[in-house]
Structure 1
Amino acid sequence: MGGRGRSRTQRKHFKQSRDNVWKYSSKSDASSAADADKSGDAEATKKDSWEPLKTHNAAFEDYYKEQGIVTTEEWDTFIEVLRKPLPAAFRINSSSQFCLDIRSQLENDFVKSLQSEFTGDEAEALRPLPWYPENLAWHSNFSRKQLRKTQTLERFHEFLKLAHEIGNITRQEAVSMVPPLFLDVHPDHFVLDMCAAPGSKTFQLLEIIHRANKPGTLPSGMVVANDVDVQRSNLLIHQTKRMCTANLIVTNHEAQDFPGCRLSKFHHNSSDIQSANGLSINQLVFDRVLCDVPCSGDGTLRKAPDIWRKWNVGMGNGLHCLQIKIAMRGISLLKVGGRMVYSTCSMNPVENEAVVAEILRRCGDSVELLDVSDVIPQLVRRPGLKKWKVRDKGLWLSSYKDVPVYRRPGMLSSMFPSGRSIVDSSDNGDDEGVAEAQRDDGNVAVQPTINSTSSHSEVNDDEVSSLPLERCMRIVPHDQNTGAFFIAVFHKHSPFPAEDKNETGNGQLLDKDKNFAESARETASNSDDILEANLCEATSVGDAEIDARSLDNKPNQALGDEEPEDKQGENESEPQKVGMKRKLKNQGKWKGIDPVILLKEESVINSIKAFYGIDDSFPLYGHLVTRNNDTDSVKRIYYISKSVKDVLELNILAGQQLKIASVGLKMFERQTSKDGNSTECRYRISSEGLPLLLPYITKQILLAPLVDFKHLLQYKSIKFGDLVDAELVESASKLVLGCCVVVLKEAHQASSIPIQVDSSTVAIGCWKGRSNINVMVTALDCTDMLERLQKRTGTDNAQTTEPENGGVNGASSPNDTDMKEETTADMVAL
């Protein structure tokens, strides 16, 4: 029943690819086809090869009929919808510069075109989700075959693919969008996504905290996205990288053991250390926690129909303990006054209402289950159950007293509505103790049961919970043609008694946390040196460089997997070794992860600042991090927000408890071409960091009219003589060799520098060569930006005149080859 064993099983499950039975046949059918082919029966081969698996599971149907998830009258409709493929859904990035343009294109172009071409259901196949705010989420019920049916649908399909890769939209199951909406996230909140991969909800949370920001500003809040599985974390990092945010930290931890990074009293009371590091926090607690736990996943049957043949009752029963642990850790990391959303993509009450009830029993009056029935009224949802049964080894169990004695070590009383451990007088008295001990499976002490009676009191055969579980919500597929989901919203009113006793906001202080605190105390005198040498340990997507030697030459041991038992002490049981200054400087605490160093080389920072004329109001010092101690070898420089900086410094002082997989927004990249070495500044501005930095740049700026701007996007390289605007030609000729920023000049805009930047400003990074201007933007970004400009201006790309000697056929500057290599490296296919 241990957490580590569960998580390993879960990771193995995630690595297994799911069969898409809407398209392919089963393995058994494939074998039959092969046998038939050998025997020369071509007709049988054709039939068997494409016959889908049957979407039936007698155990599944018997289980949910008994649980009463839906009424008897609607059961047939419920099952019928479950057997149909799930409609596609996507969400417009609300923080994108082109958010309103994309929504307008959907409403005024695609919807109207489809309504004119189709009738009936097909005409309504593309529509906004009625319950999602501001028409920013959409539902598309076209099949792959239909998408090739007309020119409009083909164009719509290409639009979706490009917009998703750029980051303007996110493809996400409709019901998966619901939990973040109930978190009530504000831009100044610290948010924890405990089980974040594959990252669509994390992206949604980042959108919310960034949406109200003006150009060149960052929110004061941040998001910590955690997932235990390293492979899934890579997908998470890729998803969130499209957001271009400096307010995100990605970590690799078992969610039930997520570190609290609580500083010892020595640090907390030391005014010298506090002032030296400018820390405003002394422990890692959050305003909002999203606890979307691992589950059996039967709510995703329409998306992953292979679950029909895999489903069994043991899937939910086996995850119940882990789900409680994760949820309780989330509550313990929540600030007083904060909110946590617990959710699963399962319909099983053992994974849903039973877990919620146990949280309420353990937390007592400290936590309230909120009634959110009046929030998002357009969303059709059903109240949680107060009565359910547990299925085990072919038996229906209404109460813990019905559990056979030999099964009690494997069954928890918390699975049942009352949550009480009840044994008959004829049973072995030790059994009750075993069951009660199993209740204490989290990191927070068990609290008295609400409205509970003696553990030996009699109850009805069918238990009914006395807790307000009707405040939970269950979304079922046939109500709004979606998948299934379960959501519960908690509010934390006060610390747990265990928190008061230990004087911590993170719940019961673990021995491991105490050891880290002692380690931090021992190294406090060197804290400034540590921060200079190693702010955090991180890798970003596409940059992970795992040293095989650090993994003991074991190719099957992925980054983040647990070490062999004889080496575990290096990571956890001997934190005092981690606190040594030499170890931190060389490789950081976590093996296989390169440390990220706070960039303090003033010559590099000053050269960047002077070359681009970066205004003093933009905080560069203390916010730039790299991965290499050798300044001459630094290739990428990342930018971190004030909130992320505080957390990283806290993590160092607490003994590097956080295992960080990714952090920071890529701001500058070293130009490695011959021209790059001869320029005054060797670092160019990355396309990801340009929107944040643009309002503060006063040098290396060119204002281009629409015709020249579109030429740059189309041809990627243009000679000065081929530019249409004479003023632009003169400005480009006088510009210093190196990276520059080309800004689209509006018709009414003056040519004065610095420019006034607002949400409508369009700019790209370029390289000013000796005779050319070369675009340093990926081909996908150029294509998308051209389409956006075409929609804004009402022009057509075909009307643009190709330069006579420039463009792809013109002479290129010596840095073109390097430019193509850099932009190609930035492109990551989905």
Structure 2
Amino acid sequence: MGGNRGRTQRKHFRKSRENVWKKDRSDNPSSEKSSWEPFATQNLDFEEYYKGQGIVPQEEWDVFMEILRKPLPASFRINSSGQFFKDIRSQLENDFMKSFEAEVPDGELEPIRPLPWYPENLGWHSNFSRMQLRKNQTLERFHEFLKQENEIGNITRQEAVSMVPPLFLDVHRHHFVLDMCAAPGSKTFQLLEIIHQSTEPGLLPDGMVIANDADTQRCNLLIHQTKRMCSANLIVTNHEAQHFPSCHSNKNCLDISETESFKDPMISQLLFDSVLCDVPCSGDGTLRKAPDIWRKWNAGMGNGVHRLQVQIAMRGIQLLKVGGRMVYSTCSMNPVENEAVVAEILRRCGGSVELLDVSTELPQLVRRPGLKKWKVRDKGIWLASYKDVPRYRRGAIVPSMFPSGSSSDTGNAPSDGLQEDTGPLEDLDMGNSPSSVKRLKNGGNIDCGEGLGQLENFVIPTVVSDDEVSSLPLERCMRILPHDQNTGAFFIAVFHKLSPLSAATLENQGQLTSGNMELPKKLADELIEDTNELEINPSEDGGGHLYSEVTSDADLPDKQPEEGALEPDSNGICEEKEPEESNIHGDGETSLESSKNVKRKLQIQGKWRGVDPVVFFRDETIISSIKAFYGVNESFALDGHLVTRNLDTHHVKRIYYISKSVQGVLNLNFLAGQRLKIASVGLKTFERQTSREGTSTECAFRISSEGLPLLLPYITKQILCASLVDFKHLLQYKTIKFADFVDAEFGEKASKLKLGCCIFVLRKESEGTSDPVRVDASTIAIGCWKGKSNISVMVSTIDCQELLQRLSLQSGNERGSLAQENKHSSLEVDGTEPTDDLDVNQEPGTIEQVPIS
């Protein structure tokens, strides 16, 4: 959802989308000789619908359709908070662009170029599709560059129009941001970049991001994507967006001894400065990326998600602070999913919310104004007004879909939208053509949609109403069309909250139009998952159900305790119900089976079944050993900033660091009765030693690669400066004996380090061998293991290759020469595994690792 574009919140989406651009290879040799025809990129209903809606002038129609039938070019974004983002940008501008220019004939389009509207040349567009990136040697090298930098987190491969919504949120470093429908995570990553931009080493911004998604498996993908950002300012939650919970201080469920651990939670209510509401949609703006939509598309797809979109958007407005911004966006071109939703939000909120005119922001972005006039198409019939909707369709077609939003019936037409007929009815074909209306025999049963039963003596009226025109300033919305700048299609609207919502508005949220809100399975399967970067096949049990109404904060019910869940007893003290078996995996190292049939006090964040609890780590013995072993400066706050996902804090494998803002949210969430279902939180900073010699070290925990940049400015022990040549040798060979270092003095110092984790920093040319370690934004450091006779690198192979390439480029050596040698180097390690384990904050086995291609 959002983060990137349309998707369903239901569990029916079981199949991954087929890649119809690829030729189907068969084992039958005879089939290879037969001619292969690409998938038909046309749909007459699609063309009739959007011609009727007038989304482009008639003279542009052919160009519009022609570009829709072409594959989508690749695009990507440079991580502006990355250490090497300037080097990567320079490499693109001075290496790849010049290489391509030498090979491309004059007059042809630039192979790659920065997006003119994206700030600081950090967004890039390629005129090659993914299939073309292996066309020649230069393109192959470029493709490998994209894959490597994407996996490390230096760039994010993302559709160009998908980058737009976060730019209109006006996010600052101190903002609390909510991404309501975040998976697969490219927009969340973008929001994290913004709040971390220009942050000094060892310092964290005051703001934070909560990234939410309704589907469990998509949450795992979201965690995997945002893990590359290495942020302590992120919480990933798993809720249906239209029912995202509010958090208010509520100490009724706490024992006094527990509340003593929670000082001032810093915030008394969880509200947000910025809300990104990128809702589930029919996804026809992604036709160039997912051409299988051509054969699936029908007008009912947009009609079916309209009310859910309104619900999610209204919940976002409720959670938005006064003075804050909310961006509503879809990857659909359908006005029923776009302008109709925006208009309904404005009507419900009255003067509390305004639709902003942002036409002066990002002036080089080509965009078109929103529509003020559209119609609704249902069962092959055009409906210009709600009064034209037959009674039996009013469970599916609601007034908010029309420009006026009015449900009043005026004129001479019957109030139920039906007209009597003097003769018997024959057959009624609810097909795709308005001319296909036929007669039905008296008392016949018709199966053509929700709410349709036995009908007598009626005909479907010919629509005679004049087209409605909205009086709201919908021209302030933005439509991005594919043929304007060779992209996908997108819709964006920016809201500004002027005042709190009225009591009447909040009360009416529980009184939406009645009707069957369950999407038909066929429709649910046709709703489009966002695959800007990755594709995933959601699990059957993820996703949850759609609800028929939006509720206010007061109306949001707590979920009924599930078997094995934690709930308060009659005395107000939280206790655990008797579980069938443990659902808490706790790093895979503990089990609660022994506690069966035994009641116990609630552990922090242990409410949600199947989700590992978030427990504040307060073991003073371990914290003191970490401080003493690494010489952590007292100015670096550890107390109250460490959490784990294991109830048994004596057998913790991973410790996560959280920012002050995240700490405040966790404290508030506990005081509010654990309303947030947290899938991931914080930055993995310490990991228990897993080597043969790990048990003999003075400190049981080593520093993870993700947490090293945060801790580096505060470490005074187990840290050495290495010369460029020795630093490269470590990256290249992974393991070096003390006597084999080029700098003998450095080798001797390394041999005197304590057994266990240590940090090596690349010494700058201006620094001497005996100078103290100084850390700034340009400092390059790696984690290593000091064994009995050698030093081993604890960095992944791809990170080693990346650093070698950066150092080779900086020193003027041939690009990647040492990286090529690295492929043949030994990976022998003395007493430890050299690389950090992939971790998604949830415990092992909870996520399927998705390769980046």
Tell me whether the two structures share a fold, i.e. TM-score over 0.5. yes
In structure 2, what is the equivalent of residue 57 of structure 1?
43
TM-score of the superposition, structure 2-length normalised?
Answer: 0.80
Q: Please say if 1:216 is aligned against 2:215.
A: no
1:143 to 1:341, Cα distance in 2 relative to 1, 3 A = closer
Q: Please say if 1:24 is aligned against 2:23.
A: yes
- How far, CA to CA, are the matches of 2:120 and 2:276 in structure 1? 23
1:11 to 1:469, Cα distance in 2 relative to 1, 3 A = same
- How far, CA to CA, are the matches of 2:129 and 2:567 in structure 1? 57
In structure 1, what is the equivalent of residue 834 of structure 2?
819
Contact 2:181 2:212 in 1 (8 A): yes
Equivalent positions of 1:778-789 (< 5 A) are: 778-789=796-807
1:85 to 1:258, Cα distance in 2 relative to 1, 3 A = same
One-letter identity of the residue aligned with 1:84: K
Q: Please say if 1:409 is aligned against 2:395.
A: yes
Q: Please say if 1:672 is aligned against 2:653.
A: no
In structure 2, what is the equivalent of residue 484 of structure 1?
489
Contact 1:778 1:824 in 2 (8 A): no
Equivalent positions of 1:189-588 (< 5 A) are: 189-264=175-250, 276-424=262-410, 461-498=466-503, 507-510=552-555, 512=557, 582=600, 584-585=602-603, 588=606
- How far, CA to CA, are the matches of 1:735 and 1:16 in structure 2? 53
Contact 2:804 2:819 in 1 (8 A): no
One-letter identity of the residue aligned with 1:102: I
Query: Which moves more between the two structures, 421-430 or 625-634?
Result: 421-430
SS at 2:223 equivalent: helix
Task: Give the alignment partner of residue 724 of structure 1, picking from 724, 728, 742.
Answer: 742
One-letter identity of the residue aligned with 1:485: F
Contact 2:731 2:793 in 1 (8 A): yes
Task: Give the alignment partner of residue 137 of structure 1, picking from 107, 120, 123.
Answer: 123
One-letter identity of the residue aligned with 2:475: E
Contact 1:194 1:291 in 2 (8 A): yes
- How far, CA to CA, are the matches of 1:345 and 1:500 in structure 2? 28
1:285 to 1:587, Cα distance in 2 relative to 1, 3 A = closer
SS at 2:169 equivalent: coil
| 1:281, distance to aligned residue in structure 2 (A) | 1.1
In structure 2, what is the equivalent of residue 148 of structure 1?
134
- How far, CA to CA, are the matches of 1:798 and 1:260 in structure 2? 51
The unaligned stretches of length 5 or more in structure 1 are 1-6, 433-458, 531-536, 551-579
- How far, CA to CA, are the matches of 1:363 and 1:801 in structure 2? 58
Contact 1:669 1:686 in 2 (8 A): yes
- How far, CA to CA, are the matches of 1:659 and 1:338 in structure 2? 25
| 1:17, distance to aligned residue in structure 2 (A) | 1.2
| 1:391, distance to aligned residue in structure 2 (A) | 0.1
The structure where helix makes up a greater share of residues is 1
1:708-757 superposed Cα distances (whole Å, 9 cap, x missing partner): 00000001000111101122112112211111000000110144565221
Q: Please say if 1:702 is aligned against 2:688.
A: no
In structure 2, what is the equivalent of residue 594 of structure 1?
612
1:796 to 1:470, Cα distance in 2 relative to 1, 3 A = same
One-letter identity of the residue aligned with 2:19: N
Task: Give the alignment partner of residue 47 of structure 1, picking from 21, 25, 34.
Answer: 34
1:378 to 1:539, Cα distance in 2 relative to 1, 3 A = farther
In structure 1, what is the equivalent of residue 753 of structure 2?
735
SS at 2:623 equivalent: helix
In structure 2, what is the equivalent of residue 565 of structure 1?
none
1:674-727 superposed Cα distances (whole Å, 9 cap, x missing partner): 211111112110000000000000000111011000000001000111101122
Contact 1:408 1:431 in 2 (8 A): no
Query: Which moves more between the two structures, 129-138 or 719-728?
Result: 719-728
1:654 to 1:737, Cα distance in 2 relative to 1, 3 A = same
- How far, CA to CA, are the matches of 1:426 and 1:794 in structure 2? 83
SS at 1:371 equivalent: coil
Contact 1:739 1:768 in 2 (8 A): yes
In structure 1, what is the equivalent of residue 706 of structure 2?
688
SS at 1:584 equivalent: coil
1:813 to 1:107, Cα distance in 2 relative to 1, 3 A = closer
Contact 2:605 2:615 in 1 (8 A): no
SS at 2:739 equivalent: helix
Query: Which moves more between the two structures, 59-68 or 783-792?
Result: 783-792
Contact 1:319 1:351 in 2 (8 A): yes
Q: Please say if 1:745 is aligned against 2:767.
A: no
1:270-289 superposed Cα distances (whole Å, 9 cap, x missing partner): 9x969952211112110000
- How far, CA to CA, are the matches of 1:600 and 1:306 in structure 2? 53
Q: Please say if 1:793 is aligned against 2:780.
A: no
1:603 to 1:330, Cα distance in 2 relative to 1, 3 A = same
Contact 1:546 1:593 in 2 (8 A): no
- How far, CA to CA, are the matches of 1:424 and 1:117 in structure 2? 67
Contact 2:152 2:799 in 1 (8 A): yes
| 1:263, distance to aligned residue in structure 2 (A) | 2.7
One-letter identity of the residue aligned with 2:554: L
In structure 1, what is the equivalent of residue 441 of structure 2?
none
The unaligned stretches of length 5 or more in structure 2 are 1-5, 419-463, 510-550, 577-582
One-letter identity of the residue aligned with 1:746: K
| 1:372, distance to aligned residue in structure 2 (A) | 0.2
Contact 2:375 2:402 in 1 (8 A): yes
| 1:521, distance to aligned residue in structure 2 (A) | 10
- How far, CA to CA, are the matches of 1:770 and 1:77 in structure 2? 69
In structure 2, what is the equivalent of residue 77 of structure 1?
63
| 1:624, distance to aligned residue in structure 2 (A) | 0.8
Taking only aligned residues, the RMSD between alpha carbons, in angstroms, comes to 3.6
Query: Which moves more between the two structures, 226-235 or 101-110?
Result: 226-235
In structure 1, what is the equivalent of residue 86 of structure 2?
100
1:821 to 1:515, Cα distance in 2 relative to 1, 3 A = closer
- How far, CA to CA, are the matches of 1:525 and 1:742 in structure 2? 52
- Indicate the structure whose relative CO is greater, using CA pairs within 8 Å and at least 6 residues apart: 2
One-letter identity of the residue aligned with 1:784: E
1:190 to 1:501, Cα distance in 2 relative to 1, 3 A = same
SS at 2:64 equivalent: helix
SS at 2:395 equivalent: helix
Contact 2:402 2:468 in 1 (8 A): yes
1:260 to 1:524, Cα distance in 2 relative to 1, 3 A = farther
SS at 2:834 equivalent: helix
Contact 1:587 1:593 in 2 (8 A): no
- How far, CA to CA, are the matches of 2:346 and 2:260 in structure 1? 37
- How far, CA to CA, are the matches of 1:674 and 1:813 in structure 2? 11
| 1:512, distance to aligned residue in structure 2 (A) | 1.7
One-letter identity of the residue aligned with 2:796: T
Contact 1:538 1:594 in 2 (8 A): yes
One-letter identity of the residue aligned with 2:230: C
Task: Give the alignment partner of residue 99 of structure 2, picking from 113, 124, 136.
Answer: 113
1:499 to 1:404, Cα distance in 2 relative to 1, 3 A = closer
| 1:175, distance to aligned residue in structure 2 (A) | 0.1
Query: Which moves more between the two structures, 792-801 or 238-247?
Result: 792-801
One-letter identity of the residue aligned with 1:618: F
SS at 2:200 equivalent: coil
| 1:215, distance to aligned residue in structure 2 (A) | 0.4
* Equivalent residues, number: 737
1:121 to 1:645, Cα distance in 2 relative to 1, 3 A = farther
1:674 to 1:631, Cα distance in 2 relative to 1, 3 A = farther
SS at 1:343 equivalent: strand
